[in-house]
Structure 1
Amino acid sequence: MRIAIAGAGAVGRSIAAELVADGHQVMLIERDRAHFEPHTVEQAEWVQADACELSSLEDAGMQLCDVVIAATGDDKVNLVVSLLAKTEFAVKRVVARVNNPTNEWLFTESWGVDVAVSTPRILSALVEEAVTVGDVVRLMTLRQGQANLVEITLPADTPLGGVAVNTLRLPRDAALVTILRGGRVIVPTPDDTLEGGDELLFVAAADVEQEIRSALGY
Structure 2
Amino acid sequence: MRCKELARDLNTSMVLHGDGTDLDLLEEEGAGQVDLFVSLTDDDKLNLLVCLIAKHLGVKKTIAQIRRSDYLPLIESVGIDIAVSPRLLTAAAILRFIRRGDIVSVSFLGGAKAEMIELNIQEKSKIANKTLQELPFPREAIIGAIVRDGEEIIPKGSDYLLPKDRVIIFTLPRAVTKVEAFFQKYNF
User: For the superposition of Structure 1 and Structure 2, which TM-score range results when normalised by the shorter chain?
Assistant: 0.5 to 0.7
Contact 1:133 1:154 in 2 (8 A): no
The offset of 1:70, in angstroms, is 0.9
CA deviation digits over 1:31-54, x for unaligned, max 9? Answer: 2xxxxxxxxxxxxxxxxxx11122
Q: How far apart, in 1, do the equivalents of 2:26 and 2:76 lie?
A: 20
Instruction: Give the 3-state SS of the residue equivalent to 1:30 in structure 2.
Output: coil
Unaligned runs of 5+ in 1: 1-7, 32-49
Unaligned runs of 5+ in 2: 184-188
The offset of 1:69, in angstroms, is 0.9
- Indicate the structure whose relative CO is greater, using CA pairs within 8 Å and at least 6 residues apart: 2
| 1:29-108 equivalence runs, <5 A | 29-31=16-18, 50-86=19-55, 88-98=56-66, 100=67, 103-107=68-72, 108=75
Which residue of the other structure, out of 135, 147, 152, is the alignment partner of 1:187? 152
Instruction: Give the 3-state SS of the residue equivalent to 1:113 in structure 2.
Output: coil
Contact 1:62 1:85 in 2 (8 A): yes
TM-score (norm 2): 0.64
Q: How far apart, in 2, do the equivalents of 1:188 and 1:167 lie?
A: 18
Q: Give the letter for the 1:27 counterpart.
A: M
CA deviation digits over 1:158-201, x for unaligned, max 9? Answer: 43121135766797x95533559xxx766347555334x86632
**Counterpart in the other structure of 1:127:** 94
Contact 1:165 1:188 in 2 (8 A): no
CA 179–167 in structure 1, closer or farther in 2 if over 3 Å, else same: farther
Q: Give the letter for the 1:187 counterpart.
A: E
The offset of 1:26, in angstroms, is 1.6
Q: How far apart, in 2, do the equivalents of 1:78 and 1:109 lie?
A: 14
Contact 1:68 1:91 in 2 (8 A): yes
Q: Give the letter for the 2:50 counterpart.
A: V
Contact 2:63 2:81 in 1 (8 A): yes
Q: Does 1:27 align with 2:14?
A: yes
Instruction: Give the 3-state SS of the residue equivalent to 2:14 in structure 1.
Output: strand
Q: CA RMSD in A?
A: 4.3
Q: Give the letter for the 1:176 counterpart.
A: G
The offset of 1:124, in angstroms, is 1.8
The offset of 1:151, in angstroms, is 3.3
User: Alignment length, in residue pairs?
Assistant: 174
**Counterpart in the other structure of 1:13:** 6
CA 186–124 in structure 1, closer or farther in 2 if over 3 Å, else same: farther
Contact 2:121 2:161 in 1 (8 A): no
Give identity over the alignment, percent. 21
